[in-house]
Structures are given as structure tokens and as C-alpha cells.
Amino acid sequence: MLRLPDYGIAYVLWVGAIALGAVASLQVLYFLMLLIPKRGSRPIRQPNGPVMPTNPAGVEGRRAGNAPLASGGKMVVLTGLLNVEDIPLPNNNFVIGRYYHPENNIHIALDEKSISRRHATFQGDDKSRDYYLTDTNSSYGTALRMGDKQQQLVPGAKFRIYNGDVIQFGQAITARFVLPGESRPTPAPADQNART
């Protein structure tokens, strides 16, 4: 049997302990490197802006009654969405929500935290030029803005909108609707009503 001198066994034990310590140190360093986030390499889970089809009016497979607006109506985004100015209205019956989902008729996406998945419904008729918004029990509501005043839409009730109306969706997004037809009639001042 091979017998090592006494200093040989101690030497082998020390070398083995150092080797195991080095391997353990490398594993700890590797684990720590995994914990450090890499800048710019992580995929973005949610879009930064609304995810819209490239040609909303040309989406195939529409149900009957969902024809595109003949006039080419649009929403002009005033506040709340960066790098988005105009959103064309895709048809006469669609849902406005937080994420684009055509299978659920959500054709306009407003990706902002106060917008519900199914925030409001738009319905219109080009012949009569009547257009309606219905708040679908959204968490933060929908309101008509007139100057510094707001008129909250009653959830579940149709609310007629006119060309030029400014609507606030949730807490941050405001948009002006550009629709065929007349603008909202202005109420007569209180003094004129008293005289008649």
C-alpha cells in the first residue's frame, strides 16, 4: 500500500479545501451576477403606447353593423399619451379599453393605468349623425370636459357626443372627438332665459 509522508496528507487536505472554497466562491459570484438586472435587455411586458392595428378601418372579418365610419372620424389625443396624436375611429361600434383586443371588439387601446380593460363603448350612425359613448362601469370613469367643468357619464347609460367634444377617460387621458355633424349646442346664458 502506498503511504504518503505526514506532510503529504496535510498538503492534499489543504489543496482540496482551497479548491472547494474556490468553486464555492465562483458559484456565489455567479448567483450574485444573476440578481443584478441588465439594462435594456429585459423584454417590455406592456407597451408604452396604444397598440393599434396599422390600418384599423381595414380590419377583416367585421360583424354586420361594424362598417367603418364613412367620414373618417377620429380621436385627437390632447393629454395622457406620449407620441400619439390622432387615433382613427375604426367603425361605428367598438370598445375603448386599455389593450387592443379585436376578438372582444376593443379596437382603440389607451394604455394608461387608470383605463379599464373595457372602459367605454362607442356607437354611431353615419346617416343620422348620432354618436354615443357609454361608460362600461370603468374604475375611474369617463367625463365630458367643458372648459374647467366636468360632467361624469353615468355608467351603463348612453351619452350623446358631438363633433368637438372633449372626453376624459380615467384620470389622465383627454381626447377631442372629430365627428361628422354639428357641434354640441351651447346652452343659453341664464340672463337670456330669464328675459324670454
Segment 180-194 shows an average pLDDT of 65
Quick one: average pLDDT of 112-127?
92
Question: Taking 70 as the threshold, does the pLDDT of residue 18 lie above it?
Answer: yes
Looking at the chain, the whole-number percentage of residues with pLDDT higher than 90 is 41
Entry pTM: 0.60
Terminal CA-to-CA distance of the chain, rounded, Å? 124
> So what's the pLDDT on residue 127?
86
**Torsion angle defined by CA atoms of residues 74, 126, 100 and 135, in that order, rounded to the nearest 10 degrees:** 90
Of 46-60, 70-84, 151-165, the poorest mean pLDDT is in: 46-60
Give CA–CA dist 111/99, Å, rounded. Answer: 6
Check whether 119 has a pLDDT greater than 70: yes
Q: Is the pLDDT of residue 43 over 70?
A: no
Q: How does the average pLDDT of the chain come out, rounded?
A: 80
What Å distances lie between residue 30 and 17, 40, 140, 175, CA to CA?
20, 20, 45, 50
Segment among 84-98, 115-129, 152-166, 178-192 with least mean pLDDT? 178-192
**φ, ψ (nearest 5 deg) of residue 62:** -75, 150
